[in-house]
Amino acid sequence: MSKNTKRTSDNMASLAAETLSNPHSSAIAKSLAASALAQSGTDKQTSAEMEEKAGKALQSDQYSGPTKSLAASVLAQANKERGR
């Protein structure tokens, strides 16, 4: 299976850390932030479950720009072969 070598950028890791420490952040935002941080500086890839959450967040009008940015980052680190 193909390996996606993309990693979370420093800016996105900073946003993820801020999201996790904000008591007003939604559960989905915190989940996406945790996934993004887990992939910062490692070769870890997004799980199928997180891919689904991130995709739904991007398609929804319910979530803020920062949440959608985290979702996009998480999806960018997904295993491309899984989507085929």
Sign of dihedral through CA atoms 44, 50, 56, 61? negative
Structure tokens at 31: 């989940």
CA nearest to 49, candidates 73, 26, 74, 70:
74
What's the pTM value of the predicted model, to 2 decimals? 0.86
Q: What is the mean pLDDT of residues 8-34?
A: 96
Does pLDDT of 84 surpass 50?
A: no
Q: What is the pLDDT of residue 8?
A: 87
Give the integer Cα–Cα distance in Å for 25 and 3: 31
Sign of dihedral through CA atoms 62, 73, 82, 45? negative
